Chains A and B, each alone.
Chain A
Amino acid sequence: TQLLEQSPQFLSIQEGENLTVYCNSSSVFSSLQWYRQEPGEGPVLLVTVVTGGEVKKLKRLTFQFGDARKDSSLHITAAQPGDTGLYLCAGAKFGGQNFVFGPGTRLSVLP
């Protein structure tokens, strides 16, 4: 069973569209991270959210941490082909530095 669930599993959209992907759990996390992974490479950190209800913006990407610290969302405005990749969320439990990863959302942005 997955401690972190991500949805949708796959998403294919046209350039310029908006999208939201989700990361959900029944567990509470001290922090949650979003990574993007491109084929043949390791995941690269996009953002870390640490406060319940926190919203962070990174250019066209908006990240939100749920009030209860169990879920998070990633919203991309005006998607571009360069946004194509596997988006992974990872949660850190309180008092530890082990990170549990979700299965990822594979995004394809078509020109």
Chain B
Amino acid sequence: NAGVTQTPKFRILKIGQSMTLQCTQDMNHNYMYWYRQDPGMGLKLIYYSVGAGITDKGEVPNGYNVSRSTTEDFPLRLELAAPSQTSVYFCASGASGANVLTFGAGSRLTVL
């Protein structure tokens, strides 16, 4: 019963590098989300998806891209890393109509 799995847990990037944060869930949830958490700022929504093949921007999408080719997977892509993207990233999933999110353990990204 894995729930939501995120990889990697930690990553250090240089400015301008690119990388993908992986997220997979085994609960057959339709909804998936990417949030970033900065100190004292709570969670900000980057992108979300209501089902395979459908994605939409959240509150802070600039500098990121996502795809949803399967129900299980929702990777987050950073194309040109910037210091402002230093943060902890959380992937979450939820069943349609359910008022509950299940979160992964997070990925801590540092851009130097």
Question: What's the minimum C-beta distance from A10 to chain B, rounded to whole angstroms?
Answer: 10
Provide the residues of chain A in CB contact with B42, threshold 8 Å: 2, 4, 88, 101-104
* Bound-complex Cα distance A70 to B77 (A): 35
Q: Tell me the B72-109 residues at the A interface (CB within 8 Å).
A: 90, 92, 94, 96-97, 99-106
A42 with B40, Cβ < 8 A, contacts A50-B99, A92-B99, A97-B50 known: no
Interface size on B, residues (CB 8 A): 26
Task: Check if A44 sits within 8 Å of B103, measured CB to CB.
Answer: yes
C-alpha gap A97/B18 in the complex (Å):
30
| Cβ contacts A51-89/B at 8 Å (1 or 0 each) | 000000000000000000000000000000000000010
Residues on B with C-beta less than 8 A from A102 are 42
The residues of B that contact A92 with a CB separation of less than 8 Å are: 99
Q: How many residue pairs, one in A and one in B, have C-beta atoms under 8 Å apart?
A: 56
Q: Say which residue of A9, A31, A42, A98 sits within 8 Å of B103 (CB atoms).
A: A42
The reply on A28 being an interface residue by CB < 8 A is: no
> Please, how many angstroms separate the alpha-carbon atoms of A88 and B44 in the complex?
12
Q: Which residues of B contact A42 (CB under 8 A)?
A: 4, 90, 92, 103-106
Task: Judge if A33 is at the interface, Cβ distance under 8 Å.
Answer: yes
Given A42-B105, A42-B106, A92-B99: 13 more A-B contacts, CB < 8 Å? A31-B99, A33-B99, A33-B101, A44-B103, A45-B100, A45-B101, A48-B100, A97-B96, A99-B33, A99-B45, A101-B35, A103-B41, A104-B42
